[in-house]
Structure formats: C-alpha cells, structure tokens
Structure 1
Amino acid sequence: MKIHTKLLSALSSLALLVGSAGIHASEQKPNIILIVADDLGYADVGFNGSKDIITPNIDDLAKSGTSFSDAYVAHPFCGPSRAALMTGRYPHKIGSQFNLPTRGSNVGVPTDAKFISKLLNENNYFTGALGKWHLGDAPKYHPNQRGFDEYYGFLGGGHNYFPSQYQPIYEKQKAQGLKNIFEYLTPLEHNGKKVRETEYITDALSREAVNFVDKAAEKTNPFFLYLAYNAPHVPLQAKDEDMAMFPNIKNKDRKTYAGMVFALDRGIGKLVSALKKNNQLDNTLIVFMSDNGGKLSKGANNFPLTAGKGSTQEGGFRVPMLFHWPKHVPAGKRFSHPVSALDLYPTFAALAGAKIEESQQLDGTNMWPAFIKNENPHKDEPIYALRHRKGYSDAAIRLNQWKALKVNQQPWQLFNIENDISEKNDVSKSNKALLTDMVREMEKWSWDNQQPSWFHETTEGVNWRLDAMPRFDKTFKTTK
C-alpha cells in the first residue's frame, strides 16, 4: 500500500510538471497596469456620460470590463492622492497630506512606507513607472529606489507638453548659470539620466508604455506598469490636430482640455494594441482612473457631482475608474458600491500572491472577493477625505449610502448619496444620531494623523503654525 501511494504521488507530481511546462511564470500571476490621468473630470470619459469629449479606447476597455460609479481617491489633490496609491495609506498617516514644495526640496514620501512597486518587485515582478512622479525629488525618493526597475518621466508635479517650447527656455536659463529652474521646463529623465524629448509629452509617455510592454514580453516574469499621465493637468496645451477633433466645442479651455484627453485616449489605444501584439492582454489587469476630481476652472466637467479638485464634496475625490481583465473582470458591468484607491494596494498584492507583513499597516482592503460577487467591499466601513485649508479643514465620510460633509466652516451636513449624488438635500436634522456617530468615528481615526512633513508653499507652513492647525476641535464639532 505504501509503495502504491508513493507511485500515485510521483505520477501526480509528474503530471503537474508536464501540465505546467509550457506556461510562463507571467501566466501564473497577472500583469498589472495602473493608468492614472491627472485632474480628469468625472464626466470627461464616454463611459461616465461625456457628451462632447470622445474617448473610444478607454470606453472599449469599459465595455469589455467593469466601470465604477463610486470610486474614491484618498485626497482631492495630486501629491497626497498618489502617495496613497503607492503606500496604501491615507496620506495624513504618513505626513504627506500636502503637495510637495513647488520650488523643489529634499523631502518625500517616507521610505519606511513600502511602495506597492517595491512589494511586487520583491515578488518577481518586472516594474516600470512612466510620467509624473510627485513623491519626492531627492535621490532616496527616486522611482528606481522605490521598487521600479524602469522609470521615464519627470519628478515634479507637472510639466509643459511641447519640447519645442520649453527646451529653449530651459537652455537659456541654464546658460545663465541658474540652478533653480521651474520644474515644468526641465528635461525628462530615464532612470536618472536626462533625455532630450522630441514628442508631445503625452505621446512620449504612450510611446514609452509600448516600449515597456515590448521589453516585458521578452521576460518570463510578470510585470507591473504605473503609467502616470500628466494630462489633462495644466498647462492646457494640446496639438492642433487633436483639438480639431472637437469642432463643436467653442470654449478655448474646454477645447484644449478635450484635445489633451483625446491624446491620452489615443495612447491607451496604442498600449492595448501592444498588449495584444505580445499576447499579454488576456493576462493583464488594467486599472484606469484619475488622481482626483477635475479642475472646473481649467476645462473639466464633473457632472453630476458638485465642486471639483481640492474639495471634499463628491466632485473633488470621486473619480472615473474601470477594471479590465478578460475572463476575470465581468464584461459590460457597472460596479455601484463604494471603493477606495487605498484598496488597490492590498488587491494587487493578493492577485500577485505577495505576502504583506503583519507589521505593515494598510488602510484599504482587498476588494477582489467582494468585487467578483458584486458586493460592497466597505459595508459598514467608512471612507474618509480630509483637506486642510487656512485655519480649518474640510472633511467627508462615506458610509454605505450616507455621506457626511463639512465644508467652508459650515456645520456638518448629511446626504443619502445614493439618491442625491449632487449633495443637494441635507437630511442631517432627521438623522442627528447617525451623523454624530459618523463624525465621532472620523474623530477617532484622526488621532494618529501625523503633522505635515512639508507644505506646498512656505506661507502654508507659516499659517499652519500661526493658526495652531489642524484644529480638529473645530472640524469634529457637531453642536452649535
């Protein structure tokens, strides 16, 4: 009997080996592509109802994948939102709740906060980051030091789009011996070495995304690509032929913005074509989203959401998002439960089979099981937004169908956000106990928030100290 058992065991092991012989490691774990647009409006993609801007390639992904109606980022500004994506932590927990200093600095997202890229890289993923970084300029915060094998882009918070325009200005200032040149004008880089770009920046990043996929196809391990477009973030600069696609848009800013979004969509189409060419599309999870709400004064449209970038109203941190992964992500579906960008870290880790150490704190949840079952991954669990202003803070809490909101130093309000997406009907008077309980929960959450490690502008830091911020005694006050 023992001999018979050993024989069966040996034959079973042999069968497994034969069955897996022709399968690459990359087919055992999915490739993961995270595409982040910059300041893209909720209503500025076709799958969210855009009536004037066309996004055929993005919409194709949505049609053959699943789009999200209630996707939230962790902060309504670029830098803190990206810090949350990479670390899986609310930026307030790691001192990253402000954009990095505009004039450059030696600060950045703490190195003891492990980036998702580092975790995946440690688990045999070939990793690449393209485009906007905005997580630290100093060498120790460089993408190549945070788990990315490849990096092509710019380290700051934005960039001009036409090399023929920004390069002469940069060269002139460099010839004058200036060292502190506006980051929107500086050369792009590849793995720490300056490069002389020749293409419109959005097209250049799309080109590099295709190059990365081609390079990854030569390897046997899976890949993770973080494609961080700076479009349609200001400055509003688009190619004439892209703006010509929108003859019915008369507003100059809106027309330029539309051209920028169209270029981004074109690039995503090229990326998908490269995946198909390399037979990788079926084994690739594509996530597309914006880093925060659209900036209404710069051409964006967040309808039917209220307000925009920087706000804790829905238009500030509720964003367009989709998943695409053939045979794994349901096709043509709309996921209507609330999800957080903080969920992507533990979800990617789970899909990659990467172990998260018990000592590593994360603020999101692996949403994949609930997503597949079309269930709420945050049932009875709050999602927060907190934006500091001069002398006070705006705050928001999403809990199931409810949204608690405090803005502009006004009393807390409460909305049934499932029935009132535009936040028009305050029902706080008839739900006082519920509102108070939600605010008390956020107050408890705030106690281990860290003091900011930096400020976007010097005056912000001065005012923070003069105003004895964060003044949560005012933020979480629920009585008159």
Structure 2
Amino acid sequence: MLPAAARLLALPLALLSAAVGRADERPNVVLIFCDDLGYADVGFNGGEDVKTPNLDALAAGGTVCSSGYVAHPFCGPSRMALMAGRYPHLFGGPYNLPNAGEGIEEYNRLGLPPGETTVATTLQTAGYRTGVVGKWHMGIDAPYHPNARGFDEFYGFLGGGHAYFPNRYRPIYERQKANGAQTFNDYILPLERNGEEVRETEYLTDAFSREAAKFVTESAAGDAPFFLYLSYNAPHTPLEAKDDLALFGHIEDEDRRTYATMVYAVDRGVGELVAALREADEFENTLIVFLSDNGGKLGAGADNTPLKQGKGSVYEGGVRVPMLWHQPGVVPAGRVYEHPVSAIDFYPTFARLAEADVPASQPLEGVDVWDGLLSGRPARDEAPI
C-alpha cells in the first residue's frame, strides 16, 4: 500500500486521468438485439405483466421509437439486413437458415454473402474494437463466421437457436458424439469463443450478459472506441426460465409466465451491462440501441398488442418491434419518436457517428436517421399528400 503522502499525490493524477479519458472521443455503440420479443413485452411499450425496469430506465432517459421496424419477420434475414444495411431479398437472403439435421445441409451452410461488407467491418476498419455476444444465425462456415465478418471477438453460437441450460443439453450432445453422430441439432451444440469450443455452465442469457460486460471492461482499458452487438436468443423458444418464475405468479398462462421470466433475465442483463459501462466511465459516451429481430411469436408467450399477427407475418406484428435509443445528454430524454426507423438505418447512422467510410461497393438502402432522431423530425423525405 502507498504511504499516505503518496496516496494524496496520486489522487489528483487519477482524477486527471479519468477526466481526460481516451483521446478518441467517438462514441461507443452498443446494439442489443432480442429474439422474438413482442411489441408489448417491455414496460416502455405498455407491457403490464412483464418486468423490465432497466430497459424502462433507458427508455425514460432516451428516445422510444414507436415505429421501429426490421426488414424481415424471421430471425436470420432480419439479422443479415441489419448487418448489411440492405434488404435481404436483394442479396439472396430471403429465407431463414434452417437447423442442422433436416436433410438440406448444403443450404444450411450458406449465410450472409461474403461480398456484403458488414457494419462491423466498416467500424472495425475505422478503428473500433468490435465484438458480438450471443446468437449469430448468419452462416456457420469460415466465410460467414463472425470473426471473418468484422468482429474481433465472438462468444456464442452460430445457429438459429439454442437450449438455455448447459447441464441439460451438454450430456445429450456428448452422448450423441460418443455414439458416432456427425450432425447435431444446433440447439445442443457447445458454445464457442472465436472458433474454439467452450464449456459454459451458466443459464445462457446470464452467460451472454456476463460476456458483454467483460467485453466492455476489456475495451474500456484500451484507447479505441468499441462496437458491441449483444444478440440475446431470449425469449426465443425453447421456453426455459430460471427460478425467477415466482416473480410472475400473477400470470396464469404457463407459457406466458415462462416467457415473461425470460424477458426479465434479459432486462437483468441489460442492468449488468449498464453497470459495467458506468464502472468503466463509458456510459456517458455510449450510444445504446435496443430492439427485437422480429415480432413476438404467437403461441409461445408473446404479446404484440396492438399490432396484427406476429413473427413470420408481414403484417405489423411481424416487423414492427420495440425500439429505444439512449445516450445521456445527446439523445433526447423522455421522447417518443413516431417517425419510421428501420434496422437497415443503423448501418449509415453508426458509420456517420464513427466517422467511418462506407465502401462504395456496399449500396446501403437505409438512411442516416441521427439528425431526425435528435430533432424529432422525419429522417426520410415525405412526399406531399
């Protein structure tokens, strides 16, 4: 331990260091994606039987996009569109990649075409440290792997879904492997870190929250801004929840009760991520965007009120999703932005904030919504009626 006099001398230096911060003042970007989250399944969108206090706090301190959209009502194409800034039909990605073992392995091994320069690659090229945690679902082979698509760090799974309790699915995988199986259901495959198999022990939502907080802490120790894509697979099926179910005893329907508990786990993780940002003194300089990859799945606990239908539908319930933007002192607090914002708008908007050059070979279909979001005006030209 330092002598008292030395500690007194060190204190101003530490405060000065914290005040100066890193030289690169471009904002960090944290993009939080839920999977099959219903439009009414967060408190800030009117949900009454769910508990999302951390998300609601971000919403109150930021701007809620009441007309937030994704480009496709299914998981994989929606994610590809976000990463490419383009409608998936235009680059040959209009269909969901299926699970392994269904007899169409050649198609299952495709993904986001390598010719598409992702938003992660664009930010990485501009000097950002990039990471993805959670679900990928944009291809499993080398050309499609996250580490080949602009992400320095990857922790999660490559397929379209996964079971949540490792102590339940791991023995099944190991037994099948010992019996000589060559193909496994995606939902029981081991997680990986940058291509290397890992043995996870925590409930998956908690594990992804842990890894996201770790990425923030590690990134904050460096000089570069960071881009984190936190891609939860919750509350996608299977409906598997921890022992927080007691918090939702007022919900009679079992599926809805389990689903609400899974959403609560996501919210808990968002709180841990915010705490990590604060601890690293990066909260003020971080843009947080939260949304779902498509509408909630009817029959699996979701509530898309007041929208029609849900996941898989091109009605509003399939493509209109809960969305919020938050950055203290930058994004207006307590505002509802009613003009359309699409996930394909993230690419040009994030590139603008990162002062990054979008390759001429990547013809973006989204628009930079930043000025409109801050001013409350439409981000797109509106034709006269």
Same fold (TM > 0.5): yes
Q: Secondary structure at the match of 2:139?
A: coil
For 1:380-401, what per-residue CA distance to the aligned partner results, in whole angstroms no more than 9, with x for missing partners? 37xxxxxxxxxxxxxxxxxx9x
- Structure-1 residue corresponding to 2:31: 34
CA contact (8 A) 1:339 1:378 kept: no
Shift of 1:356: 1.5
Q: Counterpart amino acid of 1:208?
A: E
Q: Counterpart amino acid of 1:132?
A: K
- Aligned counterpart in structure 2 of residue 208 of structure 1, from 186, 206, 211: 211
Q: Does 1:107 align with 2:104?
A: no
Q: Does 1:193 align with 2:190?
A: no
Q: Distance in 1 between matches of 2:266 and 2:97?
A: 25
Shift of 1:140: 1.4
Residues 48-447 of structure 1 aligned to structure 2 (within 5 Å): 48-103=45-100, 104=105, 105-240=108-243, 242-380=244-382
Q: Counterpart amino acid of 1:234?
A: T
Q: Secondary structure at the match of 1:197?
A: coil
CA contact (8 A) 1:144 1:150 kept: yes
For 1:17-72, what per-residue CA distance to the aligned partner results, in whole angstroms no more than 9, with x for missing partners? xxxx945234x200000000000000000000001001000000000011110011
Shift of 1:378: 2.3
- Aligned counterpart in structure 1 of residue 23 of structure 2, from 20, 25, 44: 25
Q: Secondary structure at the match of 1:282?
A: coil
Q: Secondary structure at the match of 1:169?
A: helix
Q: Distance in 1 between matches of 2:82 and 2:163?
A: 24
For 1:121-177, what per-residue CA distance to the aligned partner results, in whole angstroms no more than 9, with x for missing partners? 001000000000000010111100001000000000000000111001001000001
Q: Secondary structure at the match of 2:163?
A: coil
Q: Distance in 2 between matches of 1:76 and 1:225?
A: 23
Q: Secondary structure at the match of 1:210?
A: helix
Shift of 1:192: 0.3
Q: Distance in 2 between matches of 1:214 and 1:22?
A: 18
Shift of 1:371: 1.3
Q: Distance in 1 between matches of 2:260 and 2:46?
A: 14
For 1:271-303, what per-residue CA distance to the aligned partner results, in whole angstroms no more than 9, with x for missing partners? 000000000000000000000000011000000
Shift of 1:112: 0.8
CA contact (8 A) 1:130 1:226 kept: yes
Q: Counterpart amino acid of 2:39?
A: Y
Gaps of 5+ in 2: 1-18
Shift of 1:376: 1.0
For 1:162-219, what per-residue CA distance to the aligned partner results, in whole angstroms no more than 9, with x for missing partners? 0111001001000001010101001000000000000000000000011101100110
Gaps of 5+ in 1: 1-20, 382-399, 401-433, 435-480
CA contact (8 A) 1:343 1:364 kept: yes
Shift of 1:106: 2.7
For 1:329-379, what per-residue CA distance to the aligned partner results, in whole angstroms no more than 9, with x for missing partners? 001111011111110000000000001233320010001111111111123
Q: Distance in 2 between matches of 1:143 and 1:192?
A: 9
- Structure-2 residue corresponding to 1:393: none
When normalised by structure 2's length, the TM-score is 0.92
Q: Counterpart amino acid of 2:328?
A: P
CA contact (8 A) 1:128 1:151 kept: yes
CA contact (8 A) 1:127 1:223 kept: yes
Shift of 1:78: 0.3
When normalised by structure 1's length, the TM-score is 0.74
Q: Counterpart amino acid of 1:137?
A: I
For 1:228-256, what per-residue CA distance to the aligned partner results, in whole angstroms no more than 9, with x for missing partners? 0000000000012x211111001010000
Q: Secondary structure at the match of 1:376?
A: coil
Number of residue pairs the alignment of both structures matches: 361
CA contact (8 A) 1:64 1:324 kept: yes
Q: Distance in 2 between matches of 1:23 and 1:194?
A: 36
- Judge which range, 353-362 or 121-130, deviates more: 353-362
CA contact (8 A) 2:98 2:160 kept: no
Q: Counterpart amino acid of 2:99?
A: T
Q: Distance in 2 between matches of 1:59 and 1:172?
A: 43
- Larger RCO (CA under 8 A, 6+ residues apart): 2
Q: Secondary structure at the match of 2:289?
A: strand
Q: Secondary structure at the match of 1:349?
A: helix
Q: Secondary structure at the match of 2:79?
A: helix
- Structure-2 residue corresponding to 1:429: none
Q: Counterpart amino acid of 2:271?
A: G
Segments ≥4 residues shifted beyond 4 Å: none
Q: Secondary structure at the match of 1:33?
A: strand
Q: Secondary structure at the match of 2:323?
A: strand
